[in-house]
Amino acid sequence: MVFSIKVEAVFSSAHNLRDYKGKCEELHGHNWKIEVVASRDKLDEPGMVLDFKYLKTKLNKVLEKLDHKYLNNVSYFKKVNPTSENIAKYIYDNLKSQVSSLKSVTVWENDTSSARYEE
């Protein structure tokens, strides 16, 4: 038996993909939707996986570093291509030390396309 919670947040940014042939190699932007899932097989004393407010606060702190930025200029993405997959990993890596029950991060770049990272 596993219990899970999910929070969502959004941020806006621009990027362009390196080593890619197609429209996305040009500068463009997204209103990204982020889903973060935390899960545990046992609930805590109050009967929760984790407080929604805590998880959302931690997520929003990470997203502040990305919101209204040109992602290619963010330190991490100077070396790593700012694909949806790598953005999901970036967010996951920045949350995992603060959210021990972190399960996955999904990054939606539009209504029909997303990438998920989990360990």
Q: Is 24 a catalytic residue?
A: yes
> Per the residue annotation, which of 28, 64, 68, 118 is the catalytic one?
68
Q: Is 35 a catalytic residue?
A: no
The catalytic residue among 8, 24, 25, 118 is 24
> Residue 119: CB partners within 8 Å, gap ≥ 6?
92, 96
Write out the E strands in the chain: 3-15, 28-40, 69-70, 102-110, 113-118
C-alpha torsion sign, points 62, 89, 106, 74: positive
Residue 57 tokens, joined: 């606060």
List active site positions.
Answer: 24, 68, 109
